[in-house]
A and B are shown apart, each in its own frame.
Chain A
């Protein structure tokens, strides 16, 4: 019995002491919390940092409330209150118990951007210990950008418990950055420099450059060596990245322009409604996606497999319809064709706007086209990669069609000498109609691809039509290779100019260069030669 009482007493004591420590902890941070309500923004930033450094479990919640704008304070300082659920009521920040006697003159604690930044940094320190791996990684990466020597202890304890290699690496890098900022020993700093340099990316470069000024003299050459080696490797990867962006843009241009090149090359007409064919293809994708989602939701990832043939058929048929109803009356009058097809493009745009509305339509990427992966220093998105593959596929298919099929043979014959081809029994009007259908169908396929990377809106085609013309004019007509070279050259040149001149100026420069280029070679890079040209 005595023993039982003793146990009870001990337990009671323990409980009380626990409660007391709990209370004490809360009371410990209360002044820190109350400091959030007074002073100017820099002082509040300090208050946030002090609060974060206290390591109290309540801090994350308090900071969250602060960034949500739910904390209130009196103008002249005093305690901080948390807005309650009902209007005008307040609860205690730490205990959450309602406060009845809250003063009337409370105002919301205002934030500015530096304070928001401090809150985010503090929150990421706190999430270093989170059980969620991606949260820890994100927190470590946040800290890498904004490392604070005050976090060293926290980081060390997080490092000790970390199991995941990638998170651990990042944390070690953060630790190295912090060491570089503090007055650690030279050996420690040297190891830290090695650690940072081994990451070899742009962040590492910034860190090393910042460290260079405060580093001990004996370490400076070491840092400089690392900086220059990182810079040179980054320069190489930059070129590669630009090349990749250029290829990606070039493949999009190729898709958009190749149909134009066919109709222009074979029939000598400029189809201003080509961009609208691209747009129709994109809208076909949208309709197919909606249908698949409604009929067979399991097949959503394979939408594109249905969309490509559907878009080809639909736009191809529209193209043949246009050729039979309008364009065939205008042969031999290329400028009139240009005007008529422009009128047609206005009608098509407005029809789509009437049917689907003027706003963008959402076309989802299938799962295998979303996301990105890193390849060395390159960041490659899957949808861009697949579009490059796709455009190469379309190009090869077209090349085979032109060079190996009977239709291709007839088409080439008509391109080179219409009257002779006609005399040989080729039904040239039929070839014209099919060629126009083919060109339009390819535009439709381009639309499927563009729907994956661009907004599907009635203006989609307009954004590409001038660039497509430039590709065709630059590459020359009557030769698919001209279009390929033209598209890739323009794409890559555009992306290489962008970093120096800016996106818009780069584009202007390209346009001016093409205008000048046309003076040198009025019929493009790969011009048709011989008698056919003068017709």
Chain B
């Protein structure tokens, strides 16, 4: 009964991918912890946080795809939400260090002692509780996205203008977090974490659990996104993407629809950041760099925007490539990344998943019609004459 309900609200392939991710959530930790190192299925300890990192990126790309692929908002500032979520989690992890820091101050993180801060600033209150920090991951990112989106969408800032001001937003945050006076560790950011929820953050068991948590979060986010885009609201959202003015004139409140999806997406990005920080062990202002946000866009584009599976595949593929490339030929990575940007936009505008889907959809059409190869050729010829006859139609 549950499976029927799921099938009603989701596409089959989304469910398959979500299932695969959940399978990974079970398999990777178990293989790492239980299998002997000689076993070919054993996943070595260093790989677990790396894979977890890829899944965090996949979640971030999925969040971006919700606004870009389904609503046409190209945000060049999603890295900011990711980093903010990361900082919220980082603050919790900082508070967990307690008096085990270099200065052994039980009340203040090391960098505050170093800067001679007399007491904890008010915005650090509460971050010693995991629940509060987790709440802040969603609240802070959601609030920023809401305020920013409320201002931007209401005054109909669209297209490249919106992209540029999202970039300005993340750039401003980058500069702000570099300042020591902000109380977020300045240039060095937050690092040297010890515990999460009472567990040693370096322990294999904790890392495996973090991976599982990330995979589960990704699967849930995928199902949530799928539910959103397959709902009536999701359909109208695609309308906004393709013809904003027309949708508005049909009587929909375009601003509110954009604002909702933008806020949801920002929260997802924040969660991705919060899961990312304990696995890599550091968060610093560099995460706000505009270049990072643009890189997320290319993951999404490579995988295929406007498909929910695409960004996940894209993020994992590109980052896997990056890991291999930067180890083998470090100086060529930027060439490869740049070429990827150019090639994807020129030759693969729908991304991997989009192109594959298109191919299968076309084949299905012909099969369904029961056509032979001969009629396919005829069809093509007919299409060609139709194009030459009316150039306007082709345009």
Q: A334-B159, A339-B297, A342-B341 are in contact. Are A515 and B168 (CB under 8 A)?
A: yes
Asked whether B342 is an interface residue with its Cβ less than 8 Å from the other chain, the reply is yes
Taking CB atoms, residues of chain B closer than 8 Å to A270 are 160, 163-164
Say whether A349 contacts B151, CB under 8 Å: no
Say whether B157 contacts A522, CB under 8 Å: yes
Q: A350-B335, A473-B165, A514-B168 are in contact. Are A519 and B342 (CB under 8 A)?
A: no
**8 A Cβ contacts from B114-161 to A:** 148, 151-152, 154-161
Taking the closest CB of chain B, its distance from the CB of A195, in whole angstroms, is 42
Asked whether A504 is an interface residue with its Cβ less than 8 Å from the other chain, the reply is yes
Give the CA-CA distance A438 to B52 in the complex, in Å: 47
**8 A Cβ contacts from A365-399 to B:** none
Closest to A335 in B: B74
Taking CB atoms, residues of chain A closer than 8 Å to B74 are 335, 338
Closest to B171 in A: A466
**8 A Cβ contacts from B281-320 to A:** 290, 294, 297-298, 301
Give the CA-CA distance A270 to B164 in the complex, in Å: 9
List the one stretch of B33-41, B175-183, B224-232, B253-261 in contact with chain A: B175-183
Q: A342-B294, A522-B161 are in contact. Are A511 and B345 (CB under 8 A)?
A: no
Partner of B338, one of A333, A335, A350, A470: A350
Say whether B155 contacts A520, CB under 8 Å: yes
**8 A Cβ contacts from A317-368 to B:** 326, 329-330, 333-340, 342-347, 349-351, 353-354
Asked whether B365 is an interface residue with its Cβ less than 8 Å from the other chain, the reply is no
Taking the closest CB of chain B, its distance from the CB of A96, in whole angstroms, is 49
Say whether B346 contacts A335, CB under 8 Å: no
Give the CA-CA distance A38 to B163 in the complex, in Å: 68
Taking CB atoms, residues of chain A closer than 8 Å to B298 are 339, 343
Taking the closest CB of chain A, its distance from the CB of B378, in whole angstroms, is 30
Asked whether A523 is an interface residue with its Cβ less than 8 Å from the other chain, the reply is yes
Say whether A346 contacts B334, CB under 8 Å: yes
Taking CB atoms, residues of chain B closer than 8 Å to A339 are 294, 297-298, 301, 341, 344-345
Q: A343-B340, A469-B168 are in contact. Are A334 and B154 (CB under 8 A)?
A: no
Closest to A505 in B: B179
Asked whether A512 is an interface residue with its Cβ less than 8 Å from the other chain, the reply is yes
Taking CB atoms, residues of chain B closer than 8 Å to A351 are 335
Asked whether B371 is an interface residue with its Cβ less than 8 Å from the other chain, the reply is no
Which interface class (under 10, 10 to 19, 20 to 34, 35 or more) fits B? 35 or more
Asked whether B324 is an interface residue with its Cβ less than 8 Å from the other chain, the reply is no
Asked whether B26 is an interface residue with its Cβ less than 8 Å from the other chain, the reply is no
Taking CB atoms, residues of chain B closer than 8 Å to A330 are 345-346
Taking CB atoms, residues of chain B closer than 8 Å to A508 are 172, 175-176
**8 A Cβ contacts from A474-506 to B:** 504-505
Taking CB atoms, residues of chain A closer than 8 Å to B290 are 466
Asked whether A133 is an interface residue with its Cβ less than 8 Å from the other chain, the reply is no
Asked whether B238 is an interface residue with its Cβ less than 8 Å from the other chain, the reply is no
Give the CA-CA distance A504 to B187 in the complex, in Å: 13
Say whether A504 contacts B341, CB under 8 Å: no
Give the CA-CA distance A270 to B172 in the complex, in Å: 20
Most A CB atoms within 10 A — which of B152, B155, B175, B342?
Answer: B342
Q: A338-B74, A340-B345, A511-B168 are in contact. Are A519 and B340 (CB under 8 A)?
A: no
Give the CA-CA distance A262 to B345 in the complex, in Å: 23
Say whether A326 contacts B346, CB under 8 Å: yes
Asked whether B169 is an interface residue with its Cβ less than 8 Å from the other chain, the reply is yes
Asked whether B280 is an interface residue with its Cβ less than 8 Å from the other chain, the reply is no
Give the CA-CA distance A354 to B334 in the complex, in Å: 11
Taking the closest CB of chain A, its distance from the CB of B183, in whole angstroms, is 14
Give the CA-CA distance A227 to B348 in the complex, in Å: 71
Taking CB atoms, residues of chain A closer than 8 Å to B160 are 270, 334-335, 338
Taking CB atoms, residues of chain A closer than 8 Å to B155 are 518-520, 522
Give the CA-CA distance A338 to B339 in the complex, in Å: 14
Give the CA-CA distance A217 to B320 in the complex, in Å: 79
Taking the closest CB of chain B, its distance from the CB of A493, in whole angstroms, is 15
Asked whether B373 is an interface residue with its Cβ less than 8 Å from the other chain, the reply is no
Taking CB atoms, residues of chain B closer than 8 Å to A353 are 331
Asked whether A99 is an interface residue with its Cβ less than 8 Å from the other chain, the reply is no
Give the CA-CA distance A517 to B337 in the complex, in Å: 34
Taking CB atoms, residues of chain A closer than 8 Å to B164 are 270, 469-470, 473
Partner of B345, one of A336, A515, A522: A336
Taking the closest CB of chain A, its distance from the CB of B64, in whole angstroms, is 12
Taking CB atoms, residues of chain B closer than 8 Å to A347 are 334-335, 338-339, 342
Asked whether A58 is an interface residue with its Cβ less than 8 Å from the other chain, the reply is no
Say whether A515 contacts B165, CB under 8 Å: yes
Say whether B346 contacts A340, CB under 8 Å: yes
Mark each residue of chain B from 174 to 204: 1 if its CB lies under 8 Å from any CB of chain A, else 0: 0110110000000000000000000000000
Taking CB atoms, residues of chain B closer than 8 Å to A349 are 334
Taking CB atoms, residues of chain A closer than 8 Å to B101 are none
Taking CB atoms, residues of chain B closer than 8 Å to A343 are 298, 337-342, 345
Closest to B179 in A: A504
Taking the closest CB of chain A, its distance from the CB of B312, in whole angstroms, is 19
Asked whether B349 is an interface residue with its Cβ less than 8 Å from the other chain, the reply is yes
Asked whether B167 is an interface residue with its Cβ less than 8 Å from the other chain, the reply is yes
Asked whether A516 is an interface residue with its Cβ less than 8 Å from the other chain, the reply is yes
**8 A Cβ contacts from B340-369 to A:** 340-342, 344-346, 349
Q: A326-B346, A507-B175, A508-B175 are in contact. Are A340 and B168 (CB under 8 A)?
A: no
Taking CB atoms, residues of chain B closer than 8 Å to A515 are 148, 151, 165, 168-169, 172
Partner of B337, one of A346, A504, A516, A518: A346
Closest to A514 in B: B168
Mark each residue of chain A from 267 to 283: 1 if its CB lies under 8 Å from any CB of chain B, else 0: 00010000000000000
Taking CB atoms, residues of chain B closer than 8 Å to A518 are 152, 155, 157, 161, 165
Say whether A340 contacts B159, CB under 8 Å: no
Closest to B341 in A: A343
Closest to B344 in A: A339
Give the CA-CA distance A445 to B44 in the complex, in Å: 54
Closest to A458 in B: B334
Closest to B157 in A: A522
Closest to A336 in B: B345
Give the CA-CA distance A342 to B332 in the complex, in Å: 16
Most A CB atoms within 10 A — which of B74, B169, B175, B345?
Answer: B345
Say whether B338 contacts A345, CB under 8 Å: yes
Taking CB atoms, residues of chain B closer than 8 Å to A470 are 164, 168
Taking CB atoms, residues of chain B closer than 8 Å to A338 are 74, 160, 163
Closest to A343 in B: B341
Give the CA-CA distance A466 to B332 in the complex, in Å: 25
**8 A Cβ contacts from B90-112 to A:** none
Q: A270-B164, A466-B290, A473-B161 are in contact. Are A512 and B334 (CB under 8 A)?
A: no
7 shortest interchain CB distances as A-B pairs: A343-B341, A346-B338, A347-B338, A350-B334, A511-B172, A343-B338, A340-B345
Beyond contacts A339-B344, A347-B334: 19 other A-B pairs, Cβ-Cβ < 8 A, are A333-B349, A337-B345, A338-B74, A339-B294, A339-B298, A340-B346, A343-B298, A345-B338, A347-B339, A350-B332, A353-B331, A470-B164, A504-B176, A507-B175, A511-B172, A514-B165, A515-B148, A518-B152, A519-B151
B residues at A contact (CB < 8 Å): 74, 148, 151-152, 154-161, 163-165, 167-169, 171-172, 175-176, 178-179, 290, 294, 297-298, 301, 331-332, 334-335, 337-342, 344-346, 349
A-B contact pairs, 18 of them (CB 8 A): A326-B346, A329-B346, A335-B160, A339-B294, A339-B345, A340-B346, A343-B340, A349-B334, A469-B168, A470-B168, A505-B176, A508-B172, A514-B168, A515-B148, A516-B151, A518-B152, A518-B155, A519-B151
